[in-house]
Chains A and B, each alone.
Chain A
Amino acid sequence: MSLQIVWFCLIGVLWTGYFLLEGFDFGVGMLLPVLGRSEDDRHTMFESIGPIWDGNEVWLLVAGGATFAAFPVWYATMFSGFYLALLAILVLLIVRVVSFEWRGKAESPGWRALWTWLNTIASFGAPVIWGIALSSLLSGVPIGEDQSFVGDFGDLFTWYTVFAGITVTVLFALHGATFLGIRTSGDLRERAERTAARLAPLAALMGAGFLIWTLVVASDRNDKGIFPGIVVVVAAAVAAVAAVFLTRAKRDGLAFAATAATIALAVMTLFISLYPRVMVSAPNFENSLTIENASSANYTLTVMTIAAGVLLPIVLFYQGWTYHVFRKRLGGGDPAGATSSARSEP
């Protein structure tokens, strides 16, 4: 297997990590107006993702950095081509980051309401744009012979990409609800479970639509057969249907696993549909960027493979440990959320 393939897969993994983890952060943010009825509820919701959102967001930074290092041409063409979309994402993410840290730094209800709303808006906006941007890698944008983007902002918008953006957002909302199902207790948990059960059929339906549409676009725009994409699509659809039943049965842990699997398999579907291209050119298909013509040379890929081989397991270990540390449910009978664990020393 060539190193280009390794890095194509790794970047797929990094995006999966980002969507899987930040997906529920976004979901929790979106659900603030729905589930956050009291200041206590909202506090608990913020606290459920408080210790981890920052680490989650770094997956995006790493995905960007890895693309830069392994596929400089892909990075250059995609980031310059998607200029306005990325500008909007940056603004939304900055506002969101600040909302986390600053919301509690003043007591006035107005100040808190402001940052709560900004968090919700950013949590809706960013996934919509990510969905549009990433799906347009497959549906195609104009690329010139010199490998640079020659289109404009409007080229990102097709029925398929807009549908992808909305689907990603609905999936994240569901993912956030199932996350709150495993992270909270009491009334908030029950409402989160009900919301998840209500959202799941819609998310499953849209998810299935997106997956099939992706296969169609892949064969239409990217010269791909139905195999092996269909295998992943079926797996993703099974996970989505499982999420419908599991949320209804209030099996919190499994429901969260099902929404996580749906998202991971959906990202995988997109990447399998892209391969061996990384950015499809339309209308001039021959100008598409591929893992061959957009990549760094073998030396850099080797170095980066070693670096990732050493660092990625370490990251997975300490992020996993973080989730373990913060596994306890919040809210309910433990309003402060963090006061009950006993100290071992006097």
Chain B
Amino acid sequence: MSSVLATTLSLSRWQFATTTLYHFIFVPLTLGLAPLLAIMQTRWYRSRDDKWLRLTRFFGVLFLINFAIGAATGLVQEFQFGMNWSAFSAFVGDVFGSPLAIEGLGAFMLESTFIGLWIFGRNRLSPRVHLATIYMVWLGTWLSAYFIIAANSWMQHPVGYQLNEQTGRVQANDIGEILFQKFSLFAFVHVIFAGLMTGGFLVLGVACWHLLRERNVDLFRSAATLAIVVVLPVSGLQLLVGSEFGVTVTDAQPMKIAATEALWNTEEPAAFSLFQIGGFSQDDQTPSFDIEIPGLLSFLATNSFHGKVVGLNQLQSQYEQQFGPGNYIPDVELVYWSMRVMAYLGTLSFGLAAWGAWLLWRKKLENAKWFQRAAIAGIAFPFLSNFAGWILTESGRQPWVAFGLLKTENAVSPTSSVWSVGLSLGVFMALYAVLGVADFWLMRRYARLDPPEIETDEGEGAPLPAPGY
């Protein structure tokens, strides 16, 4: 590979990675806040207690601030497959394009149309129909996530296709398998739970910020209670789903799991490394220091404490035979640590949720200043976990873009030049940085306001977040 092409490849990868991670700041918030808003508005609809309407509007504004930027950056995602990865797009479009197209027509359209109805329809729709619109938004966001995850899962574990020798491109032959393979189902639940944690811990943290200052205590105690009721089971189950998903990944991509554990040689049973220094490269396969739990990796990867987990060296030679010479080992240190950041923060989140639940049970939530401070910091946990999870998933797939079918280095647009990709990377970074600062500023500002009062003459159909124009 020429050095020019290598630079273009590297810039394209940086662009895809940064824009995707950035997009995924906003996506999980939408996935998590939409159902929480639906619950809040339903409680208002049932009880006609103004408290829930005020909360719906309060968190509705935070939702909309993020929805805007999430939608805007989503367009970049769809375009850059073609812009930067045209060889990939032409090669897999027959299979990969369908979930994206269905996502647009079946899910994103739903979400985008009904969000307009929800924001502006408060005085033109009956309360019941208006309530239904937020449920449609919820449905749209989750469906949208499903199809995107199905597309991504296909890159991790291609199924339901055949290679057309004549065109040199893959083509679909089983849409059921492409859309509903086990990998997608697990990944979807994992992402939805991540979304609920992101939204739930945001509501909890913001509520605690207000409780800490003893403002609108009654209102925010209710918000915090709702958040805890959601995040406690979800963050607990997420640990199980994550580990079950790990078993599925082990079947589909043993190399990813071996790299995640920096397991150079096959072990039976395999120990789980909690922490280690060194041991991350082919020249340095033995850590100079590590803490291990015997048998745990076997359990995580195979559901049995005695299972066999294949090592990097063995997989490397197996892949060389299968796919020809080359390096098939991903960046071991990166995936090792991203998995641990994800899992440790996930565990910490569960701990925080359990602490909150205990305080709730003892009816001491509004006086627990240290918990409230911890919950404010806890807003960040899911975001960081989400980042780490995607870094693990995507960099653990390398050197493949579509596992076993196409390598990342062969997927890049043959026509793109160093300067055009460099320019776009620079433009996106600058634009996203400015938007990120503005978004954070707006979020912080609106999160600290008192929830809007309900004017008496608005009464029943009362609006959601005031139209923002």
Q: Which of B421-455 contact A (CB under 8 A)?
A: 423-424, 427, 431, 435, 438, 442, 445-446
Q: Which chain B positions have C-beta within 8 A of A153?
A: 420
CB <8 Å contact, A104 and B468: yes
Interchain nearest-CB distance for A323 vs B (Å):
10
Contact A94 to B73, CB < 8 A, known contacts A50-B116, A104-B468, A326-B124: yes
CB <8 Å contact, A84 and B420: yes
Q: Which chain A positions have C-beta within 8 A of B469?
A: 43, 46-47, 50, 100, 103-104
Contact A303 to B467, CB < 8 A, known contacts A50-B120, A58-B108, A322-B113: no
A167-189 Cβ-contact flags toward B at 8 Å (1 or 0): 00000000000000000000000
A66 an interface residue at 8 Å Cβ cutoff?
Answer: yes
**How far is A86 from B78 in the complex, measured between Cα atoms in Å?**
12
Interchain nearest-CB distance for A330 vs B (Å):
11
B112 an interface residue at 8 Å Cβ cutoff?
Answer: yes
A93 an interface residue at 8 Å Cβ cutoff?
Answer: yes
**How far is A307 from B179 in the complex, measured between Cα atoms in Å?**
13
A62-82 Cβ-contact flags toward B at 8 Å (1 or 0): 101111111111011111110
B69 an interface residue at 8 Å Cβ cutoff?
Answer: yes
User: Quick check: which of B165-173, B205-213, B393-401 contacts chain A, the rest being far away?
Assistant: B165-173
Q: Which of A82-140 contact B (CB under 8 A)?
A: 83-84, 86-87, 90-91, 93-95, 97-98, 100-106
CB <8 Å contact, A65 and B105: yes
B247 an interface residue at 8 Å Cβ cutoff?
Answer: no
Interchain nearest-CB distance for B43 vs A (Å):
17
CB <8 Å contact, A69 and B175: no
A51 an interface residue at 8 Å Cβ cutoff?
Answer: yes
Q: Which chain A positions have C-beta within 8 A of B435?
A: 94, 98
Interface extent on B, as a size class?
Answer: 35 or more
Which residue in A57, A94, A304 is a CB contact (below 8 Å) of B76? A94
Interchain nearest-CB distance for A169 vs B (Å):
20
Interchain nearest-CB distance for A337 vs B (Å):
8
**How far is A304 from B424 in the complex, measured between Cα atoms in Å?**
32
A34 an interface residue at 8 Å Cβ cutoff?
Answer: no
**How far is A98 from B68 in the complex, measured between Cα atoms in Å?**
6
**Least CB separation from A68: chain B residue:** B97
Interface extent on A, as a size class?
Answer: 35 or more
CB <8 Å contact, B93 and A75: yes
B415 an interface residue at 8 Å Cβ cutoff?
Answer: yes
CB <8 Å contact, B120 and A326: yes
A287 an interface residue at 8 Å Cβ cutoff?
Answer: no
CB <8 Å contact, B97 and A78: no
Q: Which chain A positions have C-beta within 8 A of B94?
A: 69, 72, 296-297, 300
B249 an interface residue at 8 Å Cβ cutoff?
Answer: no
User: Quick check: which of B81-89, B276-284, B311-319, B383-391 contacts chain A, the rest being far away?
Assistant: B81-89
B115 an interface residue at 8 Å Cβ cutoff?
Answer: yes
B203 an interface residue at 8 Å Cβ cutoff?
Answer: no
B121 an interface residue at 8 Å Cβ cutoff?
Answer: yes
**How far is A70 from B468 in the complex, measured between Cα atoms in Å?**
38
Contact A76 to B82, CB < 8 A, known contacts A69-B93, A307-B102: yes
Interchain nearest-CB distance for A231 vs B (Å):
30
**How far is A93 from B124 in the complex, measured between Cα atoms in Å?**
29
User: Quick check: which of A206-214, A257-265, A273-281, A308-316 contacts chain B, the rest being far away?
Assistant: A308-316
CB <8 Å contact, A55 and B113: yes
B44-87 Cβ-contact flags toward A at 8 Å (1 or 0): 00000000000000000100110111011111101101111011
CB <8 Å contact, B105 and A312: yes
CB <8 Å contact, A102 and B172: no
**How far is A104 from B432 in the complex, measured between Cα atoms in Å?**
20
CB <8 Å contact, A307 and B112: no
Q: Which chain A positions have C-beta within 8 A of B413?
A: 76, 80, 83, 148
Q: Which chain B positions have C-beta within 8 A of A81?
A: 415
A226 an interface residue at 8 Å Cβ cutoff?
Answer: no
CB <8 Å contact, A65 and B97: yes
CB <8 Å contact, A79 and B415: no
Which residue in B83, B86, B123, B127 is a CB contact (below 8 Å) of A148? B86
Q: Which chain B positions have C-beta within 8 A of A72?
A: 89-94, 97, 169
A55-B112, A98-B69 provided; 19 other pairs, C-beta below 8 A? A51-B117, A54-B113, A65-B97, A69-B98, A79-B89, A80-B86, A80-B414, A84-B420, A94-B72, A101-B68, A146-B414, A300-B94, A300-B98, A315-B110, A322-B113, A326-B124, A328-B124, A343-B123, A343-B461
Interface residues of chain A, those whose CB is within 8 Å of chain B, are: 43, 46-47, 50-55, 57-58, 60-62, 64-73, 75-81, 83-84, 86-87, 90-91, 93-95, 97-98, 100-106, 146-150, 153, 296-297, 299-300, 303-304, 307-308, 311-312, 315, 318-319, 322, 325-326, 328, 338-339, 341, 343-346
Interface residues of chain B, those whose CB is within 8 Å of chain A, are: 61, 64-65, 67-69, 71-76, 78-79, 81-84, 86-87, 89-98, 100-106, 108-110, 112-117, 119-127, 164, 169, 171-173, 175, 413-416, 420, 423-424, 427, 431, 435, 438, 442, 445-446, 459-461, 463, 466-469
Q: 7 shortest A-B CB distances, which residue pairs?
A: A72-B93, A79-B82, A69-B97, A101-B68, A46-B469, A80-B86, A68-B97
